[in-house]
């Protein structure tokens, strides 16, 4: 069954929908015939995306939402159900990046990133899972982790650990739905190179040449070789519609990274720098 056949006429709620992958998923969902609820802290961004979607003939509403606030997530769910009825698909996508050595990243930056990237996904999943279970109807929850959930990288510790946490939570949530024999599909989304603003928006320790070079390198990589957010959104929604737990924008890359991760764990190897990090160290 195609994504259109699966989702047309349903309602999608997407957090972090003001830009990047969230915006791409929202726009593609609308093109499939879904009503879309756009959640983000950036009012201007989601209002513009909603305006574009509504102008195309689909239906969208913007709901300013801070995913670190559980009450705000409850209000998001209320807005979605009050406006469109049952929610078919909840995509917990909101997330941020930061660059810096672990001990140099400010306390408040650590706390903000973990609250958005981890608590936002956990509580968003819990809130929509409860409502979907109460309805007894089929539903979909997709949590956006990263290919980084299968790896490690110096000076990206907050982001990497948050994505490992999202993947682990999503695996557990999948098993819980199996125990309940619930008609709720759970998917873990592991994007690889997607041309978004994530590194452009990421705060960095400007005093460190190593850190700044890494940020520039990562930003250049996703800008030059990354797929567009809408291409990513199409691939992601196709994977969810197909019933996949593992959903990737770059399946071959993800499979190779997963294979290397499995080998590393099976052999209990020592952590090692990836090639791009070695280049930065040599230049430092």
At 130-167, the pLDDT tens digits run 999 999 999 999 999 999 999 999 889 999 999 999 99
Q: What's the total number of domains in the chain?
A: 1
Q: For residue 208, what are the domain limits?
A: 3-283
Query: Which is catalytic among the residues 81, 159, 174, 264?
Result: 159
Beta 89-92 vs 60-64: how paired, if at all?
A: unpaired
Beta bridge partners of 190: 248
Each residue of 89-134: pLDDT tens digit?
999 999 999 988 999 999 999 999 999 999 999 999 999 999 999 9
Rounded mean pLDDT, 209-235: 73
Rounded-to-integer distance, Cα 71 and Cα 113, Å: 19
Tell me, what's the pLDDT at 212?
64
Per the model's pLDDT, the better-predicted residue between 73 and 223 turns out to be 73
List Cβ neighbours of 228 (8 Å cut-off, separation of 6 or more). Answer: 24, 194, 195
Statement: residue 219 has pLDDT above 90: no
Cβ contacts of 74 within 8 Å, gap of 6 or more: 127
- 171-185, 212-226, 264-278, range with greatest mean pLDDT: 171-185
Place of tokens 């992958």: 21
Percentage of residues in the chain having pLDDT higher than 70: 86
The confidence band for 193, taking pLDDT boundaries of 50, 70 and 90, is confident
Say how far apart CA 110 and CA 115 lie, in whole Å.
8
Select the more confidently predicted residue: 47 or 226.
Answer: 47
From 81, 3, 75, select the one nearest 242 (Cα to Cα): 3
What's the pTM? 0.92
Q: What is the pLDDT of residue 224?
A: 62
pLDDT band at 195 (very low <50, low <70, confident <90, very high): confident
Sorted by sequence, the CB contacts under 8 Å of residue 204 that are 6+ apart come out as 98, 99, 100, 211, 212, 215
Give the pLDDT confidence score for residue 204 in this predicted structure: 53
Tell me if residue 159 is catalytic: yes
- Pairing of the two strands 246-248 and 184-190: parallel
Task: Tell me the CATH number at 108.
Answer: 3.40.50.720
Mean residue pLDDT of the chain comes to 91
Look at the chain and count its residues.
284
Q: Give one word for 65, left, alpha or beta, with left for phi > 0 and alpha for psi -120 to 50.
A: beta
Residues in CB range of 114: below 8 A, 6 or more apart:
158, 162
What are the tens digits of pLDDT across the range 31-45? 999 999 999 999 999
**Residue 97, pLDDT score:** 93
**Confidence bin at 284 (pLDDT 50/70/90):** very low
Average pLDDT on 253-259 reads: 96
In this prediction, residues 236-264 reach a mean pLDDT of 97
């Amino acid at each position: 069954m195609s994504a259109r056949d699966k989702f047309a006429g349903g309602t999608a709620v997407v957090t972090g929908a003001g830009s990047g992958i969230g915006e791409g998923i929202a726009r593609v969902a609308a093109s499939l015939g879904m009503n879309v609820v756009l959640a983000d802290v950036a009012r201007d961004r989601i209002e513009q995306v909603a305006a574009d979607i509504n102008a195309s003939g689909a239906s969208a509403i913007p709901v300013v939402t801070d995913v670190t606030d559980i009450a705000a997530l409850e209000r998001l769910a209320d807005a979605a159900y009050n406006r469109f009825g049952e929610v078919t698909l909840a995509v917990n996508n909101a997330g941020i990046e930061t660059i810096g050595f672990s001990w140099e990243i400010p306390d408040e930056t650590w706390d903000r990133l973990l609250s958005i990237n981890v608590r936002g996904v956990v509580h968003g999943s819990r809130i929509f899972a409860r409502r979907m279970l109460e309805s007894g109807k089929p539903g979909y929850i997709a949590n956006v982790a990263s290919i980084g959930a299968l790896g490690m990288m110096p000076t990206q510790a907050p982001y990497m650990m948050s994505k490992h946490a999202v993947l682990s939570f999503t695996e557990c949530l999948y098993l819980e739905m199996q125990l309940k024999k619930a008609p709720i599909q759970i998917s873990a989304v592991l994007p690889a190179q997607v041309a978004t603003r994530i590194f452009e928006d990421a705060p960095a320790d400007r005093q460190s040449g190593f850190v700044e070079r890494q940020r520039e390198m990562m930003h250049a990589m996703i800008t030059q070789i990354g797929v567009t957010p809408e291409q990513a959104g199409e691939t992601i929604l196709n994977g969810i519609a197909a019933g996949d737990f593992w959903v990737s924008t770059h399946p071959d890359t993800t499979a190779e990274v997963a294979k290397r991760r499995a080998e590393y764990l099976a052999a209990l190897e020592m952590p090692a720098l990836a090639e791009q990090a070695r280049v930065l160290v040599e230049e430092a």
